Chain A
Amino acid sequence: MSELDPIILARIQFAANITFHILFPTITIALGWVLLFFKLRFNATGDEAWMDAYKFWVKVFALSFALGVVSGIVMSFQFGTNWPGFMERVGNVAGPLLAYEVITAFFLEASFLAIMLFGFGRVSNRIHTLATVLVAGGTTLSAFWILVLNSWMHTPAGYEIRDGVVHATDWLAIIFTPSMPYRFVHMLLASGLTVAFLIAGLSAYRWLRDDRGAGVMKALRTGVVLGAVLIPLQILAGDLHGLNTKEHQPAKVAAMEGIWETERGAGLRLFAIPDEANRQNRFEITIPYAASLILTHQWDGEVRGLNEFAGEHPPVAPVFYAFRIMVGIGMLMLLVSWWGLWVMHRRGMTPMLARVLVGMTFSGWVATLAGWYVTEIGRQPWLVTGILRTGEAAGPVAAGTIAASLAMYLVIYAVLLAAYIGTIYHLARRGGQLTILSPTPPRSAPQPAE
């Protein structure tokens, strides 16, 4: 145990927690709005198929929400248990942002979720729809505050340092940092795409099992259309976010692109093995000028290389690979959703399309995680750019203790992830029907608004 560096262990633990955590908000942020869409279609048309879709997906929502809540609580404690230096140095900024998340979003979501899940028969249809709006709004608001804080950590603004401690001077500047709008939009779209492919994939799975009711087909179509609409927007948003990063965190972009020396007319490294010891790439496959074109929108634009930031840039390989995974999945999403749209338009559903969609079910998770790895590893060695290094924030807890808690979290997360996926497929196989032990007869079906 003495070999292990407590800072590395604390970082692995935080990374493991936040990796597990982000899976579930990524689903609930957008799924809340999709549920609202189902509910509004039902209210407008009175078509029970929309309500069937709602009833199935609200269960997935509830499960995802519960996992997001409990893993989120872990995060809030780990600021103190593992990174006390973070709050000591930047608590005057981070604290209010986190507090606003709790008081504006958490209570709202948690309270109205109960009505959304169990409120039928107890409240009017209108109140139930309103609860759906508030829960969807709450998850989005929660994402807003946490991305405000995260963006401030990347591109801090609106503060001054007195006695080594950050003090807030301009709250609007703190909230609307240069990277915040890009990051927020990028994440909302990522959530939308994750949900689009989850819905399409799980519905295609039901279709393949001959569960082809109108509700399944409506959800399937919603998923494919949503994916096809959002992916071009995401590619655009990602491009703009990259330009923003190039301006504010050039070392991160250099690592993403695997560019060591500052270049004009830099080529796009489609594939390479970054070799940090020798500060070069091996086995490079390059498209000439493409990196400059993408990053500067000019053929011969200048892209600054990693060697300009020697000792101050992130580890190259993980950022470089994660970026390629994210972009690769994005391209795959573009192909699959547009092809799917075309097939469904021409011939309706086909077994081949269904299988491809099933294969893409969790693609959004992988792309979202890869994207977060790019941006968070890409921020290193800083925890808050230019203000606080990651190593400075670590606490005094012994390596052995952290290793033990890390092992415990990893086991729990592995079990829960397996249980989550297993349960989702179980729900899909049962068409969302839960075994009801209730002796009382089912409540009357809800009526659409007049």
Chain B
Amino acid sequence: MEALPPGAWLPITFAVLMAAAMLLYAVLDGYDLGVGVLLRATPEETQRDRMIASIGPFWDANETWLVLGVGLLLVAFPIAHGIILTALYVPVALMLAGLILRGVAFEFRAKVPEPKKPRWDFAFQFGSILAAFSQGWMLGSYILGFATGWAAFLFSMAVGVFVVAGYTLVGACWLVWRTEGALQMLAARWARRALYVTWAGVLAVSAATPLASPRILERWFSFPEALLLAPIPLATGALFLLLHIFLRRFPRADHSLDWVPFAATAAIFVLCFQGLAYSFWPYVVPEQVTIFEAAAAPESLIIILVGAAAVLPMIGLYTFFVWRVFGGKARDLKYY
């Protein structure tokens, strides 16, 4: 490993915080968006209401992790923030449009006259798909270091599809955990379909990343790193296998293990994220700018760190509280 510049702990800390926020976002809003993708897969209005009810109390806080992740990028690595977001202008604009539609559809579908409800269901699903796809597009473009040309574009589109599949998987697993009866059975079936596309996606991205960058190739396949890194792909494969077997077992009489598919999918997200993070370290703009070059002034980073150290535990506490209050199988969500 290269020698670290002095004062490196601050940029590293912020890179870790930012990565953690992005990862939390991908899992947490991932399941919200996944449920959105699946919303119109059932024609039953009561099932749709139940699906929305399962994510209703959480989506807003979940989405805030994106604001925090991008905020930390903006705050800690201002130069990288500008480079990345201008390079990703189009998918960012589309993602924002998707998040807008998804977010407002929550409210509108519950409040508009009955005949107008289907169009907000559509907006909810369309917004969710658009946001998920754009995020995948951004990921694909980021992996290739914002390369231009048809091959890069097609790769980004493919990653877009894979991220939709990955979110659908985690969304379906969320429904397996949080719903019961016919809807849970449907969800298990949706999860199995999404599982195979996600699997293919993870394989494709894992193959493409080393091919696109000799640096990453060397990083993964030199000795002895390859041995130390082997648990990441092996564990990912094992989790996919576990999901493949476990999701066939629904419905189960005993609900005590309904959370397992969700946890397994979240673990897959964590492992994939780890793999990506390892590939790109120490770059924040792939192959161009390292976190040390892009870091903001230490005095500004420290004041944020002080605030974060004080507040993040509180956020953890009340998030835990909200999850307790709205825990267990989803009930109908009503305003009184």
Q: Which residues from chain A sit less than 8 Å from chain B, CB to CB?
A: 55, 58-59, 62-63, 65-67, 69-74, 76-77, 79-81, 84-85, 87-88, 91-93, 95-96, 98-100, 102-104, 106-115, 117-120, 122-123, 165, 167-168, 171, 395-397, 401, 405, 408-409, 412, 416, 419, 422-423, 426-427, 434-440, 442-443
- Whether B277 is near chain A, meaning CB under 8 Å from some CB there, is no
A416 partner residues in chain B, CB cutoff 8 A: 100, 104
A117/B335 in contact, CB under 8 A: yes
- Whether B61 is near chain A, meaning CB under 8 Å from some CB there, is yes
What secondary structure prevails in chain A residues at the interface with B?
Answer: helix
Closest to A423 in B: B111
B68/A168 in contact, CB under 8 A: no
B73 partner residues in chain A, CB cutoff 8 A: 80
* B58, B60, B307: the one within 8 Å of A99 (CB): B307
Q: What are 11 A-B contacts defined by CB distance under 8 Å?
A: A73-B100, A110-B61, A110-B64, A111-B322, A114-B325, A118-B326, A119-B325, A122-B326, A401-B90, A423-B112, A443-B336
Closest to B303 in A: A96
- Whether B72 is near chain A, meaning CB under 8 Å from some CB there, is yes
A396 to chain B, nearest CB (A): 6
Give 4 nearest A-B pairs by CB, closest first: A84-B82, A80-B85, A95-B75, A91-B78
Given contacts A80-B74, A112-B322, A423-B108, 8 further A-B contacts (CB under 8 A): A67-B107, A81-B88, A102-B71, A103-B311, A107-B68, A110-B61, A426-B113, A435-B114
A65 partner residues in chain B, CB cutoff 8 A: 60
In the bound complex, how far is the Cα of B297 from the Cα of A87, in angstroms?
12
B75 partner residues in chain A, CB cutoff 8 A: 91, 95-96, 98-99
B251 to chain A, nearest CB (A): 20
A98/B307 in contact, CB under 8 A: no
B291 to chain A, nearest CB (A): 15
B93 partner residues in chain A, CB cutoff 8 A: 81, 405, 408-409
Count residues on chain B whose CB falls below 8 Å from chain A CBs.
Answer: 71
In the bound complex, how far is the Cα of B83 from the Cα of A264, in angstroms?
50
- Whether B284 is near chain A, meaning CB under 8 Å from some CB there, is no
B residues 11-50 near A (Cβ < 8 Å) are: 45-46, 49
Interface string of B110-145 (1 = CB under 8 A from A): 111110000000000000000000000000000000
Q: A-B pairs with CB below 8 Å: how many?
A: 229
- Whether B308 is near chain A, meaning CB under 8 Å from some CB there, is yes
B121 to chain A, nearest CB (A): 13
B297/A168 in contact, CB under 8 A: yes
In the bound complex, how far is the Cα of B79 from the Cα of A443, in angstroms?
53
Interface string of B208-219 (1 = CB under 8 A from A): 000000000000
In the bound complex, how far is the Cα of B87 from the Cα of A395, in angstroms?
10
A122/B325 in contact, CB under 8 A: yes
Known: A437-B45, A437-B49. A76 touches B71 (CB 8 A): yes
A448 to chain B, nearest CB (A): 15
B335 partner residues in chain A, CB cutoff 8 A: 55, 58-59, 62, 117-118, 434
B113 partner residues in chain A, CB cutoff 8 A: 426
Interface string of B138-161 (1 = CB under 8 A from A): 000000000000000000000000
In the bound complex, how far is the Cα of B97 from the Cα of A354, in angstroms?
38
A106/B299 in contact, CB under 8 A: no
B81 partner residues in chain A, CB cutoff 8 A: 79-80, 84, 87, 91
A80/B108 in contact, CB under 8 A: no
B68 partner residues in chain A, CB cutoff 8 A: 102-103, 106-107
A69/B103 in contact, CB under 8 A: yes
A95 to chain B, nearest CB (A): 3
A12 to chain B, nearest CB (A): 15
A438 partner residues in chain B, CB cutoff 8 A: 49, 332, 334
Known: A114-B322, A118-B335, A434-B111. A171 touches B74 (CB 8 A): no
Known: A84-B83, A437-B46. A104 touches B297 (CB 8 A): no
A427 partner residues in chain B, CB cutoff 8 A: 111
B89 partner residues in chain A, CB cutoff 8 A: 81, 397, 401, 405
A413 to chain B, nearest CB (A): 9
- Whether B267 is near chain A, meaning CB under 8 Å from some CB there, is no
Closest to B88 in A: A81
* A88, A92, A106, A119: the one within 8 Å of B300 (CB): A92
* B92, B107, B108, B334: the one within 8 Å of A77 (CB): B92
